[in-house]
Amino acid sequence: NVFAQETNKDTLTVATNATFPPYEFIKDGKIVGIDMEIANKIAEKLNLKLNIVDMEFNTIISSIESGKAHIGMAGMTITKERLKSINFSVPYAKSTQIVLLNSNSRLEKIEDLKDKKIGTQLGTTGDIYAKDDFGEKNVQSFDKISDAILAMKNGKIDAIMIDQQTGRNYLSNDSALKKIEAPYVEEEYAIAINKSNKYLLDKVNKAIKELQDDGIIDKITKKYINS
Ligand code: GLN
């Protein structure tokens, strides 16, 4: 059994942060997106019902550690630091960072961000890279990306460091934004799972591989990303 000690044995609880389109976002009051569709397929394969819990990105890992959620799916990048607290499944997507600007911004390249105010989402890889490269005092971390975008529109910050697809998604819905590419490493998205639950890790990995082999992850991704 996947959850030996639990009473609610027919449910797979996924922790996410629904401000990250196209991977997870709210549409017509429902949490939808690439990750949520993949999570549904995984739950189906495990014969479990999916229960989605929306929370701040920065609390997802601790919710996996405490057992509040079984899996974390939030366009979450595999990092060495995170691997100290949780396990990651095999990767199911790739990304990198880009920089969003107000469309009337004079900034043109990543070097121009020096001594500017950069907004990020707290605890994300963008947050970590921006602090490493431009100094902690130049970075303002927000709980929600939408709050960072609002702050940039109000002139409180100059730029936002964000994952590529999500950045593009905000961009394509808002002509008051533009982007510059950033020379950051490729990141891999994977599912976070409690370190002690090897059984679930194996099940999830098997499910992801099947969904990849059957072209289902590709198909889901193409529904949301058409480039
Ligand atoms: N991929 C980034 C990370 O893992 C951002 C994820 C997110 O904001 N949901 O930190």
pLDDT tens-digit profile of 91-148? 999 999 999 999 999 999 999 999 999 999 999 999 999 999 999 999 999 998 899 9
Place of tokens 């449910």: 11
What is the ipTM score, two decimals? 0.97
pLDDT tens-digit profile of 66-77? 999 999 999 999
Compute the distance from residue 166 Cα to the ligand 1 centre, in Å.
9
- The 10 Å Cβ neighbour count of residue 50 is 17
Three-state SS for 175? coil
17 lines ligand 1 (CB under 6 A): yes
Compute the distance from residue 4 Cα to the ligand 1 centre, in Å.
30
What distance in Å separates the CA atoms of residue 114 and residue 133, rounded to the nearest whole number? Answer: 9
Per-residue pLDDT at 1 exceeds 50:
no
Please report which confidence band the pLDDT of residue 7 belongs to, taking 50, 70 and 90 as the band edges: low
pLDDT tens-digit profile of 38-64? 999 999 999 999 999 999 999 999 999
Compute the distance from residue 125 Cα to the ligand 1 centre, in Å.
6
Three-state SS for 224? helix
181 within 8 A of 168, measured Cβ to Cβ: no
pLDDT tens-digit profile of 146-197? 999 999 999 999 999 999 999 999 999 999 999 998 889 999 999 999 999 9
Count CA within 13 A, CB hemisphere, residue 3: 18
